[in-house]
Amino acid sequence: MRESSAPRWALSLYSLAWRLLLPLALLRLWWRGRREPLYRAHLGERLGRYAAPERDAGAPLLWVHAVSLGETRAVAPLLDALRAQRPGLRILLTHMTASGRDAGRALLRADDLQVWLPYDLPGALRRFLQRFRPELGVLMETEVWPNLLAVCADAGVPLLLANARLSPRSAARWARWPRLATAAFGAIDSAAAQTEDDAARLRALGVREVTVAGNLKFDRHSDPKLHALGLRWRAAVAPRPVLVLASTREHQGIAEEALLLDALPAALRARVLIVLVPRHPPRFDAVARLARDRGLRVQRRSIGLPDAGTDVWLGDTLGEMSAYFAMADAAFVGGSLLPLGGQNLIEACAEGCPVVMGPSSFNFAQAAEQAAAAGALRRAADAAGVWSALQTWLDQPQQRVSAQQAALAFSAAHRGAAVQHAAWIGARLDAPGGGLGQQPQ
Residues of the domain holding 26: 8-214+416-429
- Asked whether residue 438 is assigned to any structural domain, the reply reads no
pLDDT tens, position by position, 295-325: 999 999 999 999 999 999 999 998 899 999 9
Q: What CA–CA distance (Å, rounded) separates 295 from 131?
A: 55
Under 8 Å between Cβ of 342 and 365: no
- Looking at residue 334, the DSSP 8-state letter turns out to be S
Q: What CA–CA distance (Å, rounded) separates 260 from 311?
A: 14
Of the residues 36, 71, 320, 347, only one is catalytic, namely 71
CB burial string 141-151: b at 16+ within 10 A, e below: bbbbbbbbbbb
pLDDT tens, position by position, 221-230: 888 999 999 9
- Asked whether residue 57 is assigned to any structural domain, the reply reads yes
SS3 128: helix
- Asked whether residue 146 is assigned to any structural domain, the reply reads yes
Split the chain (441 residues) into runs of 10 and give each run's mean pLDDT: 59 90 95 92 96 68 94 95 92 96 94 96 96 94 89 94 92 85 87 95 93 94 92 96 98 97 97 96 95 98 95 94 97 97 95 97 93 97 98 96 97 95 93 52 37
Kindly report the pTM of this predicted structure.
Answer: 0.86
pLDDT score of 176: 87
Residues 6+ apart with CB under 8 A from 299: 305, 306, 307, 310, 312, 313, 314
Q: What CA–CA distance (Å, rounded) separates 207 from 245?
A: 37
- Asked whether residue 219 is assigned to any structural domain, the reply reads no
Q: Do 112 and 169 have their domain in common?
A: yes
Amino acid at 418: A
- CA 388 to chain CA centroid, Å, is 28
Q: Do 126 and 268 have their domain in common?
A: no
Q: Do 80 and 168 have their domain in common?
A: yes
Q: Do 332 and 388 have their domain in common?
A: yes
10 Å CB burial of residue 409 (0-12, 13-18, 19+) is: middle
- Asked whether residue 3 is assigned to any structural domain, the reply reads no
Q: Which of 222, 196, 229 is nearest to 327 (CA)?
A: 229
The phi and psi torsions of 378 (rounded to 5 degrees) equal -120, 145
Q: Tell me, what CATH number does 240's domain have? A: 3.40.50.2000
H-type alpha helices, 33-68: none
Four-residue CA torsion sign, 257, 262, 265, 268: positive
Residues 6+ apart with CB under 8 A from 89: 60, 62, 82, 83, 436, 439
Beta strand 254-255 with 250-251: parallel, antiparallel or unpaired?
antiparallel
Q: Do 101 and 153 have their domain in common?
A: yes
- Asked whether residue 437 is assigned to any structural domain, the reply reads no
Whether 71 sits among the annotated catalytic residues: the reply is: yes
Specify the long-range contacts of residues 252-260, CB closer than 8 Å, at least 24 apart.
254/338, 255/286, 255/287, 255/290, 256/334, 256/335, 256/337, 256/338, 256/383, 257/287, 257/290, 257/291, 258/290, 259/337, 259/382, 259/383, 260/332, 260/337, 260/383, 260/386, 260/387
Q: Do 188 and 286 have their domain in common?
A: no
The DSSP bridge partners found for residue 139 are 65, 161
Amino acid at 118: P
Under 8 Å between Cβ of 130 and 56: no
- Asked whether residue 127 is assigned to any structural domain, the reply reads yes
The DSSP bridge partners found for residue 242 are 273
Q: Do 322 and 399 have their domain in common?
A: yes
Q: Does a cis peptide bond (omega within 30 degrees of 0) precede residue 37? A: no
Q: Do 203 and 229 have their domain in common?
A: no
The CA–CA distances, whole Å, from 361 to 36, 110, 172 equal 28, 38, 17
Number of domains in the chain: 2
Q: Do 231 and 93 have their domain in common?
A: no
Q: Which of 332, 362, 421, 310 is nearest to 79 (CA)?
A: 421
Q: Do 181 and 80 have their domain in common?
A: yes
Under 8 Å between Cβ of 131 and 155: no
Q: Do 122 and 237 have their domain in common?
A: no
Q: Which of 102, 109, 103 is nearest to 80 (CA)?
A: 109
Q: Do 171 and 235 have their domain in common?
A: no
Q: Tell me, what CATH number does 16's domain have? A: 3.40.50.11720
- Asked whether residue 1 is assigned to any structural domain, the reply reads no
What is the Cβ-side half-sphere exposure of residue 162, based on CA atoms within 13 angstroms? Answer: 33
The CA–CA distances, whole Å, from 417 to 141, 307, 361, 394, 438 equal 13, 41, 21, 34, 22
